[in-house]
Structure 1
Amino acid sequence: MATRRSALAAAAAAVLTASLLSACGGSDAAAAGEQAKELRYQGWVGAVTPAELAEDLGYLDDVKLKWIGNTISGPQDIQAATTGDTDFGGAFNGAIVKLKVSKAPITAVVSYYGSDKGNYSGFFVLENSPIKSAKDLIGKKIGVNTLGAHSEAITKTYLTRAGLTPEQIKQVELIVVPPVNTEQSLRAGQIDVAALSGTLRDVAIEHGGIRPLYTDVDLLGDFNGGSYVLRNDFIKKNPDTVRKFTTGVAKAVDWSRSQPIETVHARFTEIINKRGRNEDTKQVKFWKSYGVVSPGGKIADNDFSVWIEWLNNTGELKKNDLKPADLYTNDYNEVAAP
């Protein structure tokens, strides 16, 4: 899977390619005066995304999803949407900021994941690890699913708040490890800290012998972590389709937190079995929440402003004048409408 070099550093080139495309997934239909009815996307192994749940619940109306493969990287997922390989993608809001600075013609339309007590990202060490503080991480390895995204931002926030200097922070090494292998890599001593979230986190906790060093919720409280984005040309040509998709996702997110957890688990298991991707459903029982904190996944300025400010402070944006309003719209989310 893509790392920061392939997913974000290549974004400028990807944007140039995207500018020559015409919304691939629905361009032929749009050219004929019809709006796209099929949206290509990437999934996650053993998980049911809000978009997949929305389709199964019938919330997407006549819009259908077409799975083209899986990803473990938010930055890669939104780059695929930018280049036209998919029609929508989802990623950490800070990664969206970085891609937007590269002039990517994308807009966030709905929050699809976040962090709360049920769906937080934790950074775990072995129970008997000598690592007790941020300073102990100097010279150590942290296993994350991808670079330039949620885990990296949370880790650097933790290190910065703990008073580490930029030079010391550079000595903390982030290693890309597939999420399904992260727990084992920690227990085998291949990494010193494991970034774990979702059901993989809870499975690892159940196995015992690990403890959290820091979590994103401890640092920031509950927050919307990531959004679904679409290309601007696709939105312009397919406004009704985008409205159905966005509103459907919003309804699915709300459905997931309004139902008894057993009902959600049963639905997830049914969806995973029905799609026939040869996946294990054992992790479903650990699912607690998508973590979206706003009703209907409504996006707010602070979902992006915190990361714009942070990236400006670290010098990654070079004091870019990007504003939150440049990144998102709630216009297609009928659930979140005023």
Structure 2
Amino acid sequence: MTFSLRSLALTTALGLAFAGAAQADVTIRYLASHGGLSAHELAEELGYFEGTGITLENVGYASGGPESLIALAGGSVELGSAATAAVLNSIAAGNDFVAAFPSNGINDEVQSIFYVPEDSPIRGIEDIAGKTIAVNTLGAHLDYTVREALHGKGLPQDAANLVTVPGPQLEQVLRSGQVDVSAFGYWQTTFEGLAREHGGLRAIFDDTDVLGEIAGGFIVLRRDWVEAHPAEARAFVEGSARALDHARDNPEETRAIFARVLEERGENPEVAQFFKGYGVREGGRATERDLQFWIDVLEREGRLEPGKLKAADILFAPGQTVAAR
């Protein structure tokens, strides 16, 4: 079975039209991120889902993307959010997911940054071999960025020791000397900004140095859910894309909403002032390179059979048809 996405142009005007097109009342459960506010959460705060039949339900927190994808595969949630490499690994393992739109992107303004104490002897990527690096989770964006960074220097991709540390503790473990490097993800600019303000840290590299400008991760939907709820899926993507654009055009208002939501969750609202944006293209557009870059990496590493995945088959984007695999 196939479904056409030709009508899914990500524009504000069509977003309003699709809002009225949704037919059913659907609840979309999801896992939130500590210190973060996803585009769909912002869209709900802005009222973009009113009249669509869509209700969002936060059912807890995810420590990272792989946990989110496991919940999606198991039916505990209706959407996942994960780094592109993790999404591709999950699809390759048999999960029939659609990459709906980039959750975040990396560029010169929004990026993942690897920090060391100012007096650390570590100066660049070539120095991280044998060192301990704190990341939010394994098998996701920061993990693959480190692997690709080491590969680019001709070093073994597993030369660094990665340990998992929750976002709110990244600064603490670095300053206490428990790790050599702390990696603040592009979705953790709030924690990165606070750590930078406290001083005494030095950035050694960021993910744009390694990957260039690219989507960092995707909001992911199950294909069967999209097929069962085509109008609602359309309205969800449209509303979320509008929120991405709103955040770019209205950063101060977005930070204020961010702070309020964090406070309502019982998190620290002060970190909202460091939110830099989502780093995505206008209209939440994705390109095939956003996926193909990582497909090529996974094939190179022998983790993915050559030709098994094609970006066009899984990218939920205007003017494309996505066929069931």
Same fold? TM cut 0.5: yes
1:212-227 aligned at under 5 Å gives the runs 212-227=203-218
Q: Secondary structure at the match of 1:124?
A: strand
Q: Aligned partner of 2:236: which letter? A: F
2:226 to 230, 235, 246: 235
Alignment of 1:179-258 (within 5 A): 179-197=167-185, 198-258=189-249
Equivalent-residue separation in structure 1 for 2:224 and 2:258 (angstroms) = 33
> What's the counterpart of residue 323 of structure 2?
none
Question: Which runs of 5 or more residues in structure 2 are unaligned?
Answer: 1-22, 321-325
Q: Aligned runs of 1:52-67 on 2, under 5 Å?
A: 52-61=41-50, 62-67=53-58
User: What secondary structure sits across from 2:58 in the alignment?
Assistant: strand
- Superposition pairs of residues 107-186 of structure 1, within 5 angstroms: 107-164=98-155, 166=156, 169-186=157-174
Aligned equivalent of 2:278: 290
CA contact 2:97–2:221 (8 Å) conserved in 1: yes
> RMSD of aligned C-alpha atoms?
1.7
Q: Is the 8 A contact 1:242 1:332 kept in 2?
A: no
SS at match of 1:47: coil
Provide structure 1 residue ranges, at least 5 long, that are not aligned to the other structure.
1-33, 334-338
Partner Cα separation in structure 1 for residue 102 and residue 297 of structure 2: 20
For 1:266 and 1:171, locate their aligned partners in 2 and report how far apart those are by CA, in whole Å: 41
Answer with 45-54 or 139-148: which moved more.
Answer: 45-54
TM-score, normalised by the number of residues in structure 2: 0.86
Paired position in structure 2 for 1:21 = none
**Distance across 2 between alignment mates of 1:188 and 1:242:** 46
Residue 308 of structure 2 corresponds to 321
Q: Distance in 2 between matches of 1:170 and 1:106?
A: 28
Q: What is the CA–CA distance in structure 2 between the aligned matches of 1:318 and 1:193, rounded to whole Å?
A: 33
- What one-letter code is carried by the residue in structure 2 that aligns with 1:299? A
Deviation at 1:314, TM superposition (A): 1.5
Identity percentage over the alignment? 35
C-alpha deviation, 1:139, in angstroms: 1.8
Aligned residues: 293
State the 1:116 CA deviation: 2.1
Alpha-carbon separation, structure 2, partners of 1:331 and 1:138: 42
- Aligned-residue offset at 1:331: 4.7
Q: Identify the structure with bigger relative contact order (alpha carbons < 8 Å, sequence gap 6+).
A: 2
